[in-house]
Amino acid sequence: MLARLWGLTGWSLVAGSGVLLHRTLTAARPPSRTVSLSATLLNQVRAEGGLATGELFLRFAGDELIALRLRCTHLGCALTFDRGDGVLRCPCHGSHFDLDGNPAVGPAETPLERITLRHDNGTWDAQLDDPLATD
């Protein structure tokens, strides 16, 4: 009886802590934000053929600037750019994405999120929407 009561209490604490953790992590997140991309950064992207910076992977395809969110579509782990192999890698479960964001090796099956870019008066801005944010 005591073991059953402890089991119920333990599971209640686990469930409650999960709710508290979710609220703590998402409470201060803005639903969207804009990140400005400097001319220096864009010159580096062009010179290196691609660059991982913060939450973004940036590269030029001809004259088009492409921005991908460095977040695995399998379980949301942060990706790294492997310049030698020309892939974006997930360290959590081994997924690889090509530089267009398409999954090349699973378990991820969904392409990476393409970030909306705005170009105005010579400056580039990336619009980052946070699907976990609360208004």
pLDDT at residue 112, rounded to an integer:
96
Number of domains in the chain: 2
Q: Are residues 37 and 103 in the same domain?
A: yes
CA-based nearest residue to 65, from 77, 54, 76, 56: 56
Higher per-residue pLDDT: 119 or 96: 96
| Residue 40 sits in the same domain as residue 63 | yes
Residue 38 — φ and ψ, nearest 5°? -75, 160
Residue with the bigger pLDDT between 7 and 112: it is 112
Say if CB 82 and CB 89 are below 8 A apart. Answer: yes
Residues 124 and 59 in one domain: yes
The total number of residues written for the chain in this structure: 135
Q: Is the same domain home to 76 and 122?
A: yes
Answer yes or no: do 43 and 25 share one domain. Answer: no
Instruction: Tell me what percent of the residues of the chain surpass a pLDDT of 70.
Output: 73
* Domain span including residue 99: 32-129
Contact 95, 108 (CB under 8 A): yes
CB count in 10 Å sphere of residue 9: 10
Tokens of 72: 């695995």
The verdict on 39 and 81 lying in the same domain is yes
pLDDT tens digits for range 9-37: 554 544 545 544 445 444 555 567 888 89
pLDDT score for 10: 56
Same-domain status, 84 and 19: no
In tens, the pLDDT along 44-78 reads: 999 999 999 989 999 999 989 999 999 999 988 99
Instruction: Give the single-character DSSP code of 78.
Output: B
CATH of the domain at 106: 2.102.10.10
Given this model, what pLDDT does residue 30 score? 56
Confidence grade of residue 2 (pLDDT, cut at 50, 70, 90) = low
Give a yes or no: residue 135 inside a domain.
no
Do residues 23 and 36 both lie within one domain? no
